Every structure is written in structure tokens, then in C-alpha cells.
Copies of this chain bind each other. A is one copy, B any other.
Amino acid sequence: MKTYRKELWFNTEKRFSFVLITEKVSQALKESGIKEGLCLVNAMHITASVFINDNESGLHKDYYKWLEKLAPFSVDGYEHNVGEDNGDAHLKRQIMGREVVVAVTNNILDLGPWEQIFYGEFDGRRDKRVLIKIIGE
């Protein structure tokens, strides 16, 4: 069995953004030399997500509006916000999820035709990480 570990670092300009990372995960998989197995990609921070969906800007705006409606930004609206203002970001991340697990087949990410991997940031403008861990052989 082989394993491979890699971190990706982000520091987004905006509080809320989605960053396409499929190519970077694919690159890590190539580096690993693993042909068959599983690839875990997870946010290492609790106000961010890794998720799979469509690379379409209209949809990303829909996600922004929808998440803002379900869990609005509010400095005073959360008990978590004592010396913090990111209570909403912890909620948004639960909707979008912490991680994805992607099948590895023949050294390729075994994704459907429209599946793209994104880093979802809900409290950006600081250094944050994603972990890639691949196991297989």
C-alpha cells in the first residue's frame, strides 16, 4: 500500500469565495503514483468546505445567495460571535460539507462529466489549508 499527503494553501481576497482545485488535486494524484485507491480532500479549517459541484458562475452566485439566506452573516446574531464575527461561516460550512472522497482509477480522479472539486471559503482573508491524502497502490 502507498499513501501520499499534500497540503494546499489559500488566502482569499474576499470573505466568501469558491476556488476551483480539481487540477491541483489531479496533480497531487500524479505525484503520488497511486493507480487504484481513494483520495480524501478536506478543509483543515472549520469555516471552509471542500465540495464537488459545477464550475458555473451563475450557480456560484446562487450558492452565495442561498447560503446567505439559510445562515446570514451577522455580527450580533450568533452566540459564537464573542470577539469573533464568523458564526455564520461555521453554519454555511455544514451545508456545503467538510470533505470529499474521490475514487482513484488508473491514476485518474474518477469523476463524472461535470464534477469539479472546489475549495469553499466562508471566512477568508487569512491563510487556510486543504489536506489531500491518497491511499492505494
Contact = CB atoms under 8 A, between A and B. Distances in A.
A31 interface: no
Interface residues of A, number: 57
Task: Tell me the interface secondary structure of chain A in the complex.
Answer: mixed
Contact of A100 (B53, B98, B103): B98
A40 B38 contact: yes
Contact of A133 (B1, B38, B114): B38
8 contacts: A38-B133, A42-B101, A43-B112, A45-B115, A58-B87, A59-B79, A61-B79, A62-B79
Interface of A: 1, 3, 5, 36-38, 40, 42-46, 51-54, 56, 58-59, 61-63, 66, 70-71, 78-82, 87, 90-91, 93-103, 105, 110-115, 129, 131, 133, 135-137
